[in-house]
Amino acid sequence: MPARAPRRRRSPAPSNHSLEETAIADELVNGIAFGSLLFVLASGFTLALGLIKVVNIAHGAFYMLGAYLAVSVAEETGSFLLAIAVSAVALAIVAAALQAGFLKRFEFQPLRQVLFTFGITLMISEICRHLWGSYPKLLKTPDLLGGTVSALSITIPVYRIFVIGVAIVLGVALWLTMTRTRIGAIVRACIDDKETASSMGIDVDRVFLFMFGFAGLLAGAAGAIGAPFLGAYQGVEFEILTLTLVVVVVGGLGSILGAFLGSMLIGIVNSVGTSAAPELSYFLLFGPMILILIFRPTGLLGREE
């Protein structure tokens, strides 16, 4: 009789408990990546709002236009870095032009600021619809950032790691700039007391223009970075704006660290909450914001005026 082949031992099937833990871990990673994207978008917004006191409802439209531009540039040139650069520079120019030409006239007039930037949002949305159509567009993930990495039974897309890395580098760079450089000192002086800063010879209008353009630059860059996994579509301008405003309220106006903490919190709550309890997703998202508005109106790390 021929010898029987040794029986292959079957690996134990994963339990439902381990599957649930893996799913939660995956959503946690997705939430951190989404929070990282929100931080890129919200960091410039919170600095500009804290400095210029302009409620820029068009910030979400800047993101949308940046995403559409990135898709077109990447399709034409095949360069993801060029797509990010073009989107960032283009939106910086748009934001600076709006600040210099129009928003400067509406200083300390929040209602007019909201109405004006809301109109700009509708105009940008209509321009995008005419140029790129109504169907969603997704930017192809660069080959260098494709694939996945496995760690502790969790499969993490490399592109998510890239987005998280961008947020960390940006956060450290902004914190060092704001706390260790002359530029940061000038910006903080204008935030604290622009009249005194002006009397010291600081060109406050130029600082305002620079910061609003910088906020547009980060919005354009965020649109390009978010295009491979969020895409560009009609309606994203209001969805991303809502989340950005929640981040600013939770983190605190004008605080980089607050924007980072708020972005991580909102990103994780949005991702895990939508997966675990979709019927309560809005409650889980806006509930913490309401509590912070009640008990700490300045946000987690915001300062009193």
Query: How many domains, in total, are found in the chain?
Result: 1
Question: Is there a domain that residue 71 lies in?
Answer: yes
Residue 3's pLDDT is 45
* HEC profile of the chain: CCCCCCCCCCCCCCCHHHHHHHHHHHHHHHHHHHHHHHHHHHHHHHHHHHHHCCCCCCHHHHHHHHHHHHHHHHHHHCCHHHHHHHHHHHHHHHHHHHHHHCHHHHCCCHHHHHHHHHHHHHHHHHHHHHHHCCCCECCCCCHHHCCEEEECCEEEEHHHHHHHHHHHHHHHHHHHHHHHCHHHHHHHHHHHCHHHHHHCCCCHHHHHHHHHHHHHHHHHHHHHHHCCCCCECCCHHHHHHHHHHHHHHHHCCCCHHHHHHHHHHHHHHHHHHHHHCHHHHHHHHHHHHHHHHHHCCCCCCCCCC
Question: Is there a domain that residue 119 lies in?
Answer: yes
Residue 9's pLDDT is 44
* Domain carrying residue 191: 24-238
Question: Is there a domain that residue 247 lies in?
Answer: no
Question: Is there a domain that residue 290 lies in?
Answer: no
Question: Is there a domain that residue 17 lies in?
Answer: no
Question: Is there a domain that residue 76 lies in?
Answer: yes
Question: Is there a domain that residue 223 lies in?
Answer: yes
pLDDT tens-place values along the chain, 305 residues long: 444 444 444 444 444 555 566 677 778 888 999 999 999 999 988 888 877 888 899 999 999 999 999 999 999 999 999 999 999 999 999 999 999 988 888 877 888 999 999 999 999 999 999 999 989 999 999 888 888 888 767 788 899 999 999 999 999 999 998 888 888 888 878 877 778 888 888 888 888 899 999 999 999 999 999 999 888 999 999 999 999 999 998 988 878 898 999 999 999 888 887 777 777 778 888 888 888 888 888 888 766 65
Question: Is there a domain that residue 280 lies in?
Answer: no
